[in-house]
Structure 1
Amino acid sequence: MNVEQLVREALQEEAAAGGTPRGDLADRVLTARRRRNRRGVAGAAAVTAALVAAILTVPGTGDGQETASPASESITGDVVGHPDQSPPRDLIAAGNTAVSGYFTSRAVKQSNGQELFTRYYTVLDQKTGRYKALDTKWAWAAVAPGMRTAAVLEGELPAWRIGLLDLVTGKVERWIPTNRPVAGVEWSPDGKRLVATAYSKNPDRIDRPRGNRTGFYLVDAGSGEVGPFRTLRQPKPDKWGNYDGNSREDVGWSHDGTRLYVERPKSSGGKSDNRAWYTTSGARTAPPAGERFAGWSQAGLSPDGKHVAVDGDSEGSWIINATTGQKVGLVPGMQPLAWADSKRLITIGCDPKRCSGKNEYRSQLLLVTVGSKKAVPLSGFRKASADYLGRWMPLTAAR
Structure 2
Amino acid sequence: MNVDKLVREALQEQATEQDGPRGDLAGRVLTARRRRRTRAIAGAALGTAAVVAAAVGVTAFGTGGSDGSGGDDPRPAGRTHGGDVIAHPDQSVPRDFVAAGNVGMAGYAVSRDIPQKNGDSLLVRQYFLLNPATKKYEKADAKWAWVAVAPGMRTAAVLEGELPARRIGMLDLRTGEVTRWITTDRPVAAVEWSPDGKRLLATAYSKNPDRLIDRPGDHAISGPQPHPSRTGYFVIDAGSGEVGPFRPLPQPRAEKDGYFPGVSREDMHWNRDGTRLFVMVYEGPRGANYRDWYTPGGAKTPAPPGERHTGWPRAGLSPDGKLLADDSHARTSAIRDPRTGKEVARVPSQEQLAWADSKRLVALACDPARCTGDAFGMRLVVVTVGSEKAVPLTAIRKSPEGYKRLWSPMLTTR
Please state which band the TM-score falls in when normalised by the shorter chain.
Answer: 0.7 to 0.9
- CA deviations 1:59-84 (Å, max 9, x no partner) are x9xxxxxx997753556850001111
> Do the aligned partners of 1:245 and 1:265 also contact (CA within 8 Å) in 2?
no
Unaligned runs of 5+ in 1: 1-23, 30-54, 61-66
Matches within 5 A, 1:40-55: none
Deviations 1:215-273 (A, max 9, x none): 000011100000000001111214765244521000000101000000013766564x6
d(CA) in 1 for partners of 2:66, 2:117: 49
The aligned residue for residue 149 of structure 1 is: 155
| 2:160 maps to amino acid | E
TM-score, normalised with respect to structure 1: 0.79
How far apart, in 2, do the equivalents of 1:393 and 1:277 lie?
A: 27
| One-letter identity of the residue aligned with 1:186 | E
8 Å contact from structure 2 (residues 112, 125) kept in 1? yes
More displaced, 235-244 or 258-267? 235-244
* CA apart distance, 1:130: 0.5
- Conserved in 1, the CA contact under 8 Å of 2:230 and 2:249? yes
2:412 corresponds to 1:397: yes
Between the aligned residues of both structures, percent identity stands at 54
Alignment map for 1:29-108 (pairs within 5 Å): 72-74=75-77, 77-108=83-114
Q: Whole-Å Cα distance in 2 between the matches of residues 163 and 398 of structure 1?
A: 21
Query: Cα gap change, 1:384/1:133 in structure 2, threshold over 3 Å: closer, same or farther?
Result: closer
CA contact (8 A) 1:244 1:267 kept: no
Distance 1:317 1:118, change over 3 A: same
Q: Deviation of residue 111 (structure 1)?
A: 2.2
Q: Distance in 2 between matches of 1:74 and 1:358?
A: 32
Cα distance 1:357–1:372, how it changes in 2: closer, same or farther (>3 A)? farther
CA–CA distance in structure 1, aligned partners of residues 406 and 66 of structure 2: 35
Aligned-pair distance for 1:274? 1.4
Question: Partners of 1:149 and 1:268 in 2: how far apart?
Answer: 43
8 Å CA contact 2:364–2:378 kept in 1: the answer is yes
* CA contact 1:314–1:349 (8 Å) conserved in 2: no
Shift of 1:208: 4.7
1:126 equivalent in structure 2: 132
Task: Could you tell me which runs of 5 or more consecutive residues in structure 2 were left unpaired when the two chains were aligned.
Answer: 1-61, 213-223
Partner residue of 1:344?
A: 360
Q: Which residue of 1 aligns with 2:229?
A: 212
Aligned to 2:389: 374
CA RMSD in angstroms, aligned pairs only: 2.7
Question: Of the candidates 150, 169, 176, which is equivalent to residue 163 of structure 1?
Answer: 169
State how far apart, in whole Å, the 1-side matches of 2:229 and 2:285 are. Answer: 20
Match of 1:224 among 238, 241, 251: 241
For the residue of structure 2 that corresponds to 1:310, the secondary structure is: strand
**Residue number in structure 2 paired with 1:36:** none
Amino acid at match of 1:344: R
Q: CA deviation at 1:294?
A: 1.4
Is the 8 Å Cα contact of residues 318 and 355 (structure 2) preserved in structure 1?
A: yes
Shift of 1:289: 1.3
Give the corresponding residue for 2:119. 113
Are 1:312 and 2:312 counterparts? Answer: no
C-alpha distance in structure 2 between counterparts of 1:329 and 1:293, whole Å: 15
2:187 is matched with 181
CA distance in 2, matches of 1:384, 1:358: 17
User: In structure 2, the residue corresponding to 1:274 is in which secondary structure?
Assistant: strand
Does the CA-based 8 Å contact 2:198-2:237 persist in structure 1? yes
Q: How many residues get paired?
A: 337
Distance in 1 separating the partners of 2:274 and 2:153: 18
1:264 aligns with 2:270: no
Aligned to 2:328, the other structure's residue is in SS state coil
Match of 2:259 in 1: 242
1:278–1:68 Cα change, 3 Å: closer
Answer yes or no: is the 8 Å Cα contact 2:226–2:261 preserved in 1: no
Alpha-carbon offset, residue 306 of structure 1: 0.6
What aligned pairs does 1:278-317 form with structure 2 within 5 A after superposition? 278-317=294-333
Structure with the greater alpha carbon radius of gyration: 1
Give the alignment's TM-score, normalised by structure 2: 0.76
CA distance in 2 between counterparts of 1:245 and 1:278 reads 23
Could you say which residue in structure 2 is the equivalent of 1:322? 338
Secondary structure of 2:335's aligned partner: strand
* Structure showing greater relative contact order (alpha-carbon pairs closer than 8 Å, 6 or more residues apart): 2
Report how far residue 211 of structure 1 moved.
1.5
Quick check: 2:226–2:263 contact (8 Å CA) kept in 1? no
Q: Which amino acid aligns with 2:378?
A: S
Q: Distance in 1 between matches of 2:249 and 2:71?
A: 41
Amino acid at match of 2:391: V
Q: Distance in 2 between matches of 1:143 and 1:330?
A: 30
